[in-house]
């Protein structure tokens, strides 16, 4: 029987088990290992909380990942049921306690399978296990292994051998909703109940309003975090966080309050930001940097591949500095939207395009007051960005003839698949004035763009107008 047929039979068996929850839970002790993964997938998608809890307790592999699975409803309830299934304390009625599952990964990752291939190693193997924290399962077991090898065993250390370390991987969003607060409280209680045997590893942290979540941060191991998204905070609070999140490779800060770029708090922020040697992505929004971008670029690692500076009040001087920076030759994603960088001259941006042309894949210059003359001038440099995949320049006063000419030129960029362009000015009674858009004219524009792409044999490319 081929593998496809076997997989189909396993899926049918899993669906049959789910039709009777009590029987399915009872059958887990005798369930073949090959049936666990298809049964888990169906139970997760179907929201069978009781079965999921029981499956985590009986899971026959070292690790369990949500991976690409997702649910529309009862998301927190499902996560709580799975966490509840973790055996974080020894079973007092069992003399040989020791669950197989050691790493529970509740992060959604389309590239991650339900479980890792089992490799014979001294410690439980998992591609996603924490490598930074001193409380991680890897570091804990290394320490215990060293103690055993050295023969350091006493009455106080013996109980630790029966309380095996476990790891819970989860992405967190502190958004202030009641349900989120309940989930965070549940997590905190589980960590406290484990008496140190459960390591909570958060890789991706989103915080909305720092002032409302300071106390919750105390139960997190901030050294695990590699992606931080923070909205509404004081710059001093950001600096304090960065000092503890030393392994960050992605930072997104918006609406950060500080008085002036020449004050001590800004200098301290830059010093701390400069310590993040792994940083690859930086996004700042509503963060005033007028004529100060050189200070930021001076401390950023040269290998930075993503730079988003929306609503940062950038000047032409800032664009000139960016074009001369070491980061310019590495950037893959650049977002300069909502900065009036074309109000005077276009040459700095033209030079910047020439510098990033060898690597740039995503470019956003929405609402930058780009006119026909400006776009015509920078078009040759833009045409040399041969790796460009996505271009967005919505909310700029562009005419229809220029838009069609731009389309003609950019079809030579074979990697360019998606273009988000502005609604031409003739579609408005008054350009960019709310309520003055003529929808019929907009529909005609979209039809013309689509037809022109077909003539140029670029059916793989989409041009989408972005209305108000």
Give the 3-state secondary structure of 14-57. HHHHHCCHHHHHHHHHHCCHHHHHHHHHHHHHHCCHHHHHHHHH
Residue 159: which pLDDT band, with cuts at 50, 70 and 90? very low
Q: Which residue, 364, 359, 360, 352, is CA-closest to 420?
A: 364
CB 70 within 8 A of CB 60: no
Residue 149: which pLDDT band, with cuts at 50, 70 and 90? low
At residue 38, does pLDDT exceed 60? yes
Using CA atoms, how far apart are residues 402 and 284, in angstroms rounded to an integer?
31
| Most trustworthy range by pLDDT among 69-83, 325-339, 425-439 | 325-339
Residue 7: which pLDDT band, with cuts at 50, 70 and 90? low
pLDDT over 90, % of the chain: 66
Across the range 150-159, mean pLDDT stands at: 52
- Number of C-alpha atoms within 13 angstroms, CB side, residue 164? 16
Close Cβ partners of 192 (under 8 Å, ≥ 6 residues apart):
219
Tell which wins on pLDDT, 66 or 24. 66
DSSP secondary structure string, 90-115? --TT-SS---S--EEEEEE-TT--SS
In the numeric block, the tokens 């960088």 are attached to 341
pLDDT digits (tens, 9 = 90+) for 444-460: 999 999 999 999 999 99
CB 216 within 8 A of CB 189: no
pLDDT digits (tens, 9 = 90+) for 252-274: 999 998 877 778 889 999 999 99
- Number of C-alpha atoms within 13 angstroms, CB side, residue 460? 9
Using CA atoms, how far apart are residues 322 and 328, in angstroms rounded to an integer?
7
Secondary structure class of 168 (helix, strand, coil):
strand
Residue 194: which pLDDT band, with cuts at 50, 70 and 90? confident
DSSP designation for 327: G
Q: Which residue, 212, 219, 217, is CA-closest to 228?
A: 217
Choose which CATH entry (3.30.70.20, 3.80.10.10, 3.30.300.10, 3.40.50.1970) describes domain 188-193+202-465.
3.80.10.10
Using CA atoms, how far apart are residues 53 and 40, in angstroms rounded to an integer?
10
Where are the domains positioned within the chain? Answer: 8-87+100-115, 188-193+202-465
Q: Give whole-number Cα distances, 431 to 42, 329, 406, 436, in Å.
A: 52, 36, 20, 8
Please give the pLDDT value at position 9. 62
Using CA atoms, how far apart are residues 300 and 332, in angstroms rounded to an integer?
15
At residue 383, does pLDDT exceed 90? yes
**Averaged pLDDT score across all residues of the chain:** 87
| Most trustworthy range by pLDDT among 81-90, 108-117, 120-129, 347-356 | 347-356
At residue 160, does pLDDT exceed 70? no
Across the range 140-144, mean pLDDT stands at: 66
Across the range 328-332, mean pLDDT stands at: 95
Please give the pLDDT value at position 97. 44
In the numeric block, the tokens 């950019």 are attached to 410
Kind and range of the H or E element at 160? helix 158-162
Please give the pLDDT value at position 408. 94
Residue 420: which pLDDT band, with cuts at 50, 70 and 90? very high
Using CA atoms, how far apart are residues 126 and 393, in angstroms rounded to an integer?
43
Across the range 83-93, mean pLDDT stands at: 73
Q: Which residue, 84, 105, 87, 104, is CA-closest to 96?
A: 87
Q: And the tokens for 434?
A: 């709310």
Please give the pLDDT value at position 266. 92
Across the range 241-249, mean pLDDT stands at: 95
pLDDT over 70, % of the chain: 87
At residue 60, does pLDDT exceed 60? yes
CA angle 130/131/136 to nearest 5° reads: 55
Using CA atoms, how far apart are residues 435 and 253, in angstroms rounded to an integer?
32
CB 412 within 8 A of CB 379: no
Q: Which residue, 352, 348, 249, 251, is CA-closest to 303?
A: 249
Please give the pLDDT value at position 94. 46
- Number of C-alpha atoms within 13 angstroms, CB side, residue 354? 12
Please give the pLDDT value at position 436. 86
What Rg do the C-alpha atoms of the chain give, in angstroms? Answer: 27
The whole model's pTM is what? 0.88
Residue 228: which pLDDT band, with cuts at 50, 70 and 90? very high
Please give the pLDDT value at position 157. 45
At residue 32, does pLDDT exceed 50? yes
Please give the pLDDT value at position 393. 97
At residue 21, does pLDDT exceed 70? yes
By DSSP bridging, strand 250-257 and strand 418-422 are: unpaired
CB 359 within 8 A of CB 329: yes
Please give the pLDDT value at position 147. 63
Q: Which residue, 132, 331, 342, 98, is CA-closest to 220?
A: 132
At residue 155, does pLDDT exceed 50? no
Using CA atoms, how far apart are residues 44 and 65, in angstroms rounded to an integer?
11
């Amino acid at each position: 029987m081929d593998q496809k047929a076997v997989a189909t039979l396993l899926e049918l068996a899993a669906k049959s088990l789910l039709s009777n929850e009590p029987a399915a839970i009872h059958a887990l002790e005798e369930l073949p290992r090959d049936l666990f993964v298809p049964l888990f997938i169906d139970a997760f998608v179907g929201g069978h909380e009781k079965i999921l809890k029981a499956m985590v307790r009986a899971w026959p592999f070292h690790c369990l990942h949500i991976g690409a699975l997702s649910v529309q409803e009862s998301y927190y309830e499902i996560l709580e049921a799975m966490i509840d299934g973790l055996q974080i304390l020894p079973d007092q009625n069992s003399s040989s306690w020791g669950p197989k599952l050691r790493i529970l990964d509740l992060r959604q990752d389309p590239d991650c399978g339900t479980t890792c291939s089992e490799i014979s190693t001294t410690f439980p193997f998992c591609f996603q296990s924490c490598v930074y924290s001193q409380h991680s399962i890897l570091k804990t077991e290394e320490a215990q292994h060293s103690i055993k090898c050295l023969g350091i065993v006493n009455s106080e250390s013996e109980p630790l051998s029966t309380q095996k370390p476990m790891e819970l991987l989860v992405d967190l969003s502190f958004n202030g909703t009641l349900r989120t607060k309940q989930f965070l409280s549940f997590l905190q209680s589980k960590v406290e109940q484990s008496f140190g045997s459960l390591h909570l590893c958060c890789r991706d942290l989103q915080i909305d309003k720092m002032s409302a979540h300071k106390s919750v941060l105390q139960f997190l191991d901030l050294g695990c975090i590699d992606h931080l998204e923070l909205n509404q905070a004081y710059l001093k609070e950001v600096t304090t966080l960065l000092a503890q999140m030393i392994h960050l490779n992605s930072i997104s800060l918006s609406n950060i309050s500080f008085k002036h770029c020449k004050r001590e708090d800004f200098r301290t922020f830059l010093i701390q930001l400069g310590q993040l040697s792994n940083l690859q992505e930086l996004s700042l929004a509503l963060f005033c940097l007028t004529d100060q971008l050189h200070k930021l670029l001076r401390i950023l690692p040269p290998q930075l591949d993503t730079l988003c500076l929306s609503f940062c009040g950038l000047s032409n001087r800032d664009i000139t500095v960016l074009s001369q920076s070491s980061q310019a030759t590495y950037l893959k994603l650049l977002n300069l939207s909502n900065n009036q960088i074309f109000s005077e001259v276009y040459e700095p941006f033209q030079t910047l395009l020439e510098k990033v042309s060898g690597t740039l894949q995503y470019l956003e210059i929405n609402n930058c007051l780009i006119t026909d003359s400006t776009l015509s001038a920078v078009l040759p440099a833009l045409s040399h960005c041969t790796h460009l995949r996505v271009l967005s320049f919505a909310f700029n006063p562009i005419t229809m003839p220029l838009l069609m000419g731009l389309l003609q030129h950019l079809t030579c960029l074979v990697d360019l698949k998606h273009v988000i362009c502005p609604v031409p000015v003739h579609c408005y009674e008054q350009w960019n004035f709310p309520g003055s858009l003529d929808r019929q004219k907009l529909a005609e524009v979209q039809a013309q763009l689509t037809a022109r792409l077909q003539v140029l044999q670029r059916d793989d490319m989409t041009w989408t107008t972005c209305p108000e």
